[in-house]
């Protein structure tokens, strides 16, 4: 490959911690790969597993979900539910043959701009290693 593969990563970030953490990374001018497309949700517990499935269908090569550390959730317990559900989703995706490197989850607080950078770097590295994900693309309906 002459040109390096640039993965598309969709990131679902919770409004209160990771979104603010990513914001902090920006205001602190921390450089990190530009492959993530951030979607802000109110809580990691709001991430419906079908968001992930849909993102993969619509051309994402990897998905990243990030929320507050356990115990820090703005809604007290949203991230605990997210942890359970997304673990099951991860197992299910893996079982059906999706490369586990396409799915990452992290806890990043509002003050962890540096951690956010590391998380993104890891997600991008993983997605590059896993390669482009075309098999699951939503088919365009051609009449």
Partner 1 sequence: MDLNQLRKVAAEVVSRDDVKYLIGWRRGTFGYRVAPYFVEDAAGVDELIFSPLCISNLATYLTLVEKLPVPRGQEPDKRKVALLVKGCDSRAVAQLLVEKGVKREEIVVVGLPCPGMIDRDLLAEKYPETDKAAELRWNGEDFLLVGEGEDIVIPRAEVLAEKCRLCRHPNPVLSDITVGEPVKPWAAADDSGVAEIEAKGAAERWDYWEEQFSKCVRCYSCKSACPLCYCEDCILDRLDPIWVNRAVNFSENTAFHLARAFHLAGRCVECGECERVCPAGIPLGKLNRKLAQTVREEYGFEPGLDPEAEPFQASYKPDDPEEFIL
Q: 47 burial class (0-12, 13-18, 19+ CB within 10 angstroms)?
A: buried
Question: Does 94 interact with partner 1 (rule: CB under 8 A)?
Answer: yes
Question: Does 75 interact with partner 1 (rule: CB under 8 A)?
Answer: no
CA 97, 98, 100, 103 torsion-angle sign: negative
Question: Does 119 interact with partner 1 (rule: CB under 8 A)?
Answer: yes
- Determine contact, residues 90/49, Cβ cutoff 8 Å: no
- Determine contact, residues 7/124, Cβ cutoff 8 Å: yes
Report the residue from 26, 37, 84, 111 that binds partner 1 according to the rule CB under 8 A. Answer: 84
Considering only 4-12, 16-24, 26-34, 78-86, which stretch makes contact with partner 1 by CB under 8 A?
A: 78-86
Distance CA 123, CA 109 (A): 17
Report the residue from 30, 83, 114, 125 that binds partner 1 according to the rule CB under 8 A. Answer: 83
- Determine contact, residues 64/12, Cβ cutoff 8 Å: yes
Question: Does 99 interact with partner 1 (rule: CB under 8 A)?
Answer: yes
Question: Does 85 interact with partner 1 (rule: CB under 8 A)?
Answer: yes
Nearer to partner 1, 2 or 65 (CB): 65
Nearer to partner 1, 22 or 98 (CB): 98
Instruction: Count each helix (H run) and each strand (E run) in the chain, helices first.
Output: 4, 4
Chain residues in the site for partner 1 (CB under 8 A): 49-50, 53-54, 57, 70-71, 77, 80-81, 83-85, 87-100, 104-107, 119, 122, 135-139, 141
């Amino acid at each position: 490959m002459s040109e390096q593969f640039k993965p598309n990563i969709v990131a679902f970030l919770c409004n209160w911690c990771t979104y603010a953490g990513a914001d902090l990374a920006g205001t602190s001018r921390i450089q990190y790969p530009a492959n993530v497309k951030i979607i802000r949700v109110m809580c990691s517990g709001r991430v419906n597993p079908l968001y992930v499935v849909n993102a993969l269908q619509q051309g994402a090569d990897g998905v990243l979900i990030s929320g507050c550390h356990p115990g820090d959730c703005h809604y007290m317990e949203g991230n605990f539910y997210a942890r359970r559900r997304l673990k099951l989703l991860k197992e299910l995706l893996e079982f059906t043959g999706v490369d586990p490197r396409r799915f990452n989850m992290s806890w990043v607080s509002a003050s962890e701009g540096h951690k956010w950078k590391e998380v993104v770097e890891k997600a991008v590295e993983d997605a590059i290693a896993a390669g482009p994900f075309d098999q699951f693309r939503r088919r365009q309906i051609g009449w």
